[in-house]
Amino acid sequence: MSDSKTIKTALISVFHKEGLNEIISKLHEEGVELLSTGGTRSFIESLGFSCKAVEDLTGYPSILGGRVKTLHPKVFGGILSRRGLEEDKQQLEKYEIPEIDLVIVDLYPFEDTVACGAGEADIIEKIDIGGISLIRAGAKNYKDVAIVASKEQYQPLLDMLDKHGASTSLEERRWLAKEAFAVSSYYDTCIFNYFDGDENSAFRSAFNHQKTLRYGENPHQKGYFYGDLDAMFDQVHGKEISYNNLQDINAAIDLIDEFDGTTFAVLKHNNACGLATRDTALEAWIDALAGDPVSAFGGVLVTNAVIDKAAAEEITKIFFEVIIAPDYDVDALQILSQKKNRIILIRKDNVKQSNMQFRSLLNGVLVQDIDVDIEAASDLKTVTAKEPTESEIKDMLFANKIVKNSKSNSIVLAKGGQLLGSGVGQTSRVDALKQAIEKAKSFGFDLHGAVMASDAYFPFPDSVEIADKEGITAVIQPGGSIRDQLSFDYCNEHGVAMVITGVRHFKH
């Protein structure tokens, strides 16, 4: 094995001891001297193995309530010494510092302590000092030292020990060092973000669990996902999730979370092309598909209801890429699984998601709060003489949730808890409306009595006029234009009800 280094002495000081016993047993079997602190030393001795105390090496006990245990030249000198440098060897001999060839250490659970709502005193005590220093020292000197910085590396280390005994290659040590710096950088990011709070004085974000995707948006682009998808979904069937699938899945989750009643949505390129709220999953699916059965081909399906056999028998009749639901009846799953590539996801409950959104742009990063506003009836202000009916208010709130999650410029037409047509991603609001009308008519919908939702204000009354002539009776929009009154006046003259929310929902 090229650049092999024998492990003669190992320093072990960990918070998480699960899975450590096999490593300790293997090291003992290979004749490695064990060096440890406090609780870890007691754990090693409880397994029946001898272990030298760090205090015996340094001549100092653990002090300051355990804040200072390993911070000593006799520890760090043994880790950082360059084995091939004669000057370093002489200094180790002069100060009686033993070489340390393997460091197994992890960090106090700072992130978990913050997440559980602990007080600041407890949080501060979970900022690791000795551990993070040992990690950096071992990783810096990877040419001579192997560093294991997390329980996630216990198994890789054990595999190395099983493969070639108490020795490591340069390639293995460099990989362990890389993993160690990943641990330390993530840890420091969590600490910084705790102290920074809502100031946003600098952008720091770190994610583990890298997943290499088949490709990016296009086959010639590389694509990766950083995050724990398994915490959000169980994939029970289908091919590997792609970059574009993930974007659609994210849009689908954002959209379905707006609705409380049994709802089914069909998305294509991050936009809803069909959506309906009904009493059952089957009824919701049938009416969602009716909104645009052409665009539904190859789409992403999402529902907030358990999918039963009756719904599955209808759903399976079309080709789709992904389906997401909180659960599936056994016979429904058997039906949907008949196509081998269909991605079938079960969404898990109560998974915390980020409240921030960011994207790389130019030579930096754009960051904003997630748009979590969901307007209710109490948030609506009627600006016309005609008051909307109760059913129109219900449909306007329904349509407003869809338009909020559609690419701007966007117009949504809805009636009776069903998406009739939408115009999305247009350069003008008039074009978006015309697209929505054309879609609705092409699939046989009657727009008389329907409502219109817009993601932004109407600077001119032209869109309202077009909608009125198609039979639309109520309009919901944010308002905020200096020309708002022009649209208000048109509605008053032609008996159209209009409400404003005061909240704009642009989406790029």
Cis upstream peptide for 409 (omega within 30°)? yes
pLDDT tens for each residue of 494-503: 999 999 998 8
pTM across the whole model? 0.86
395 sits in which H/E element: helix 390-404
Query: Averaged over 482-489, what is the pLDDT?
Result: 92
- In the numeric block, which tokens belong to residue 464? 């309202």
Return the amino acid letter for 178: K
SS (H, E, C) 262-326: CEEEEEECCEEEEEEECCCHHHHHHHHHHCCCCCCCCEEEEECCCECHHHHHHHCCCCEEEEEEC
- In the numeric block, which tokens belong to residue 164? 């070639």
With b for 16 or more beta-carbon neighbours within 10 A and e for fewer, the 206-232 pattern comes to eeeeeeebeeeeeeeeebebeeeeeeb
Largest Cα separation within the chain, whole Å, is: 97
pLDDT tens for each residue of 181-233: 999 999 999 999 999 988 889 888 888 888 899 899 999 999 999 988 998 99
CA distance 389 to 394: 9
Indicate the pLDDT class of residue 309, thresholds 50, 70 and 90: very high
Residue 479, number of CB atoms within 10 A of its CB: 21
* Local structure of 170: helix, strand or coil: helix
With b for 16 or more beta-carbon neighbours within 10 A and e for fewer, the 61-88 pattern comes to ebeeeeeebbebebbbbbbbbeeeeeeb
Q: Is the pLDDT of residue 80 over 60?
A: yes
pLDDT tens for each residue of 263-293: 999 999 999 999 999 999 999 999 999 999 9
Taking a C-beta distance cutoff of 8 angstroms, is the pair 96, 5 a contact? Answer: no
Indicate the pLDDT class of residue 1, thresholds 50, 70 and 90: very low
Indicate the pLDDT class of residue 368, thresholds 50, 70 and 90: confident
Taking a C-beta distance cutoff of 8 angstroms, is the pair 67, 53 a contact? Answer: no
Taking a C-beta distance cutoff of 8 angstroms, is the pair 310, 282 a contact? Answer: yes
Q: Is the pLDDT of residue 137 over 80?
A: yes
pLDDT tens for each residue of 443-482: 999 999 999 999 989 889 999 999 999 999 999 999 988 9
Indicate the pLDDT class of residue 2, thresholds 50, 70 and 90: low
Beta bridge partner(s), residue 477: 500
Residue 360, number of CB atoms within 10 A of its CB: 8
Taking a C-beta distance cutoff of 8 angstroms, is the pair 73, 54 a contact? Answer: no
Q: Is the pLDDT of residue 261 over 90?
A: yes
* Local structure of 251: helix, strand or coil: helix
CA distance 496 to 473: 5
What pLDDT does 371 receive?
87
Q: Is the pLDDT of residue 505 over 60?
A: yes
What pLDDT does 62 receive?
77
Through-space distance between the first and last CA atoms of the chain, rounded to whole angstroms? 53
Active site residues per annotation: 140, 269
* Triad 27, 28, 33: Cα angle to 5°: 85
CA distance 24 to 229: 33
Query: Averaged over 353-359, what is the pLDDT?
Result: 84
CA distance 216 to 232: 21
Whose structure tokens read 């946003």?
Answer: 200
Beta bridge partner(s), residue 6: 167
CA distance 457 to 211: 41
Average pLDDT taken over every residue of the chain: 92
Instruction: Write the CB contacts of 363 (distance below 8 Å, at least 6 apart in sequence).
Output: none
CA distance 450 to 474: 7
CA distance 97 to 54: 12
